[in-house]
Structure 1
């Protein structure tokens, strides 16, 4: 690892993330950005980083945008989320955008360094809480099946996975938004999910999109 990149708006977090990268990869050159705009400019005009530590909650938007940009500009770059958020609404969109690791900031710096150093051995840098969440999710996905869903529920799930709102789904299916809401509640119960992000990921795993 010769070039490192950090996207983080909090100065104190910048300091320990720099320390973590330097301890993990001695001699690495590190560039820091505080906003999406600054990050985009640095990535487009500077050397492609070997590793990027990306926060999700930035003043001007979500770090998911920078994960997607980095994957377009430099596919070999290892994008790792460093965040305080461990909920499905943050974890799965980041991983779907191309993040190859997800580390929580509440861990001791030694744990972060150990996770980063594991990259050389092919170990994905994941905080234990994130690894458990992913295992739980994919265990659910392995037993989920369209056989438990009605034809209409399957149609609604497909539209959810495509990012359509309940109002758009209702219009396309020619039914009321209230009826769609009922189908969504039934879907969540049958698939054992609690968010649109989880439902969309399951739909992809089930081959609906």
Structure 2
């Protein structure tokens, strides 16, 4: 991790998050913004950043819009929510927008550092309270009969593979398909299941017994 961006409107929290990032990645270069319009303007002018810590409650709207922007314009950026909110109303829209992790700012600094360090070994940065909420959601029964539309056998096959963490290229190679074809299947899967992220798709695949 060489570059980072912080979207946080409280100066004290900006400093606190900067300290967390420097403890996690000592050589990291950090840019900060305090509202959405400023963030988008700065990010548009910057080379792609490696990681972004994003607050959700901002003076000019929700940080979810910046997560969506980054996923469109800088998909390689790891977006991590840094928030005080731990309710479904905040968690799931952020994950649907493409957030790679969700950390609560009321945790000790050392716990946040440990969570961010896990990124380098492939562990999603999730506060324990958030992980518990996701697990409860994960274990809720899935009624396929009442889903918006049933998946085809090929769509189930694609879902079962991407839910295990495979990229679209890897999935295409496994199935002998073109990447664009797999992307089309994934788009249709997301539409039918009313999900917007790989994490949600994986949860649904588990409920459907595909993994």
| TM-score (normalised: structure 1) | 0.70
Aligned to 2:38: 38
- 1:138 deviates by 1.4
Aligned to 1:144: 142
What is the RMSD computed on CA atoms of the aligned residues? 2.1
- 1:65 deviates by 0.2
- 1:47 deviates by 1.7
User: What is the DSSP-based 3-state SS (H/G/I as helix, E as strand, rest coil) of the residue aligned with 1:30?
Assistant: strand
Aligned to 1:126: 126
Distance in 2, Cα, partners of 1:144 & 1:94: 22
Distance in 1, Cα, partners of 2:121 & 2:2: 17
- 1:128 deviates by 0.2
Pairing 1:90–2:90 present:
yes
Aligned to 2:7: 7
Map 1:132-171 to 2 at 5 A. 132-140=132-140, 143-147=141-145
- 1:127 deviates by 0.1
Map 1:1-209 to 2 at 5 A. 1-140=1-140, 143-147=141-145, 205=204
Larger radius of gyration: 1
- Unaligned stretches of 5+ residues in structure 2: 149-192
Distance in 2, Cα, partners of 1:45 & 1:103: 27
- 1:146 deviates by 4.6
User: What is the DSSP-based 3-state SS (H/G/I as helix, E as strand, rest coil) of the residue aligned with 2:106?
Assistant: coil
User: What is the DSSP-based 3-state SS (H/G/I as helix, E as strand, rest coil) of the residue aligned with 1:124?
Assistant: coil
| TM-score (normalised: structure 2) | 0.69
Structure 1 residue runs of 4 or more that deviate by more than 3 Å after TM superposition: 203-207
Number of aligned pairs?
156
Aligned to 1:165: none
Distance in 2, Cα, partners of 1:144 & 1:47: 42
